[in-house]
Amino acid sequence: MIGELRDASWLSSIHVWNGAHWEVLLDLTNVAGAVTDLVLHVSVLELNGAYEFEPGMIYVP
């Protein structure tokens, strides 16, 4: 099972600015809090002064 996002997830996650928005590969944790080999792909856009998150696939890279 996938657990809540923890600070440890951000230590090994990747984010890249592509000129229009951020592309993020966020490491996921299990319910015990351990970082798994699963990542969530998310695009982060700024629209009208607010951020919009477009989730993509969850997969093992």
The side-by-side arrangement of strands in the sheet containing 14-17 is 14-17, 22-29, 35-47, 50-59
Please report the pLDDT score of residue 32 as a whole number: 93
The pLDDT tens digits of the residues spanning 1-58 come to 889 888 888 888 999 999 999 999 999 999 998 999 999 999 999 999 999 999 999 9
Name the nearest CA neighbour of 14 among 6, 23, 5: 23
Please report the pLDDT score of residue 18 as a whole number: 95
DSSP structure string for 1-61 = -B----HHHHHS-EEEE-SSSEEEEEEEEBTTS-EEEEEEEEEEEEETTEEEEEEEEEE--
